[in-house]
């Protein structure tokens, strides 16, 4: 399996522009997570989906952020309009979801997207 695939690897944009980050989870996984990593706040969970349905979006910073999961193999995180304080590394992770066996419930991470908003 290729693992969790995120694109792009790096994104540089200007303030006010729309940014879309993409994620392809591991095939067969039914939970998907979006995290943001910054020096100040560390790793924060933004939102997670179970069976394509958003379960908890309490970590989404504000209305400028939105996430979708139209099918089991694709998710997007959109920022519109982007601001310099959105600069961070954004990770996507997937897991097999709520099962009792821990070995099946490990989160596997993508390589992340480094976003720079100028």
- Give me the torsion for CA of 56, 59, 65, 68, rounded to 10°: -20
Beta carbon of residue 102, minimum distance to other proteins (angstroms, whole number): 6
For position 1 contacting other proteins by CB under 8 A, the verdict is: no
22 binds other proteins (CB under 8 A): no
Neighbours of 36 (CB within 10 A): 22
Among 18, 107, 116, 118, contact with other proteins (rule: CB under 8 A):
107
Binding mask 30-69 for other proteins (x = CB under 8 A): -x-x--------xx-x--x-x----xx-------------
Residue 111 is a binding residue for other proteins (CB under 8 A): yes
Query: Is there binding between residue 108 and other proteins (CB under 8 A)?
Result: yes
Under 8 Å between Cβ of 3 and 110: yes
Q: Is the dihedral of CA 12, 15, 17, 22 positive or negative?
A: positive
Binding-site member from 25, 29, 86, 91 for other proteins (CB under 8 A): 91
**Residue 45 burial (CB count, 10 A):** 16
User: How far apart, in whole angstroms, are the C-alpha atoms of residue 12 and residue 81?
Assistant: 14
Q: How many CB atoms lie within 10 A of CB 113?
A: 21
List residues binding other proteins (CB under 8 A). Answer: 31, 33, 42-43, 45, 48, 50, 55-56, 89, 91, 93, 95, 97-98, 102, 105-109, 111-112, 114
């Amino acid at each position: 399996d290729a693992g969790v695939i995120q694109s792009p690897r790096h994104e540089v944009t200007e303030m006010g522009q729309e940014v879309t980050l993409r994620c392809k989870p591991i095939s067969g996984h039914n939970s998907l997570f979006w995290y943001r990593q910054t020096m100040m706040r560390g790793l924060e969970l933004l939102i997670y989906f179970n069976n394509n349905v958003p379960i908890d979006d309490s970590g989404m910073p504000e209305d400028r952020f939105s996430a979708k999961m139209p099918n089991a193999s694709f998710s997007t995180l959109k920022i519109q309009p982007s601001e310099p304080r959105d600069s961070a590394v954004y990770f996507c992770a997937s897991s097999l979801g709520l099962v009792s066996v821990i070995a099946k419930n490990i989160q596997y991470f993508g390589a992340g997207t480094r976003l720079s908003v100028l």
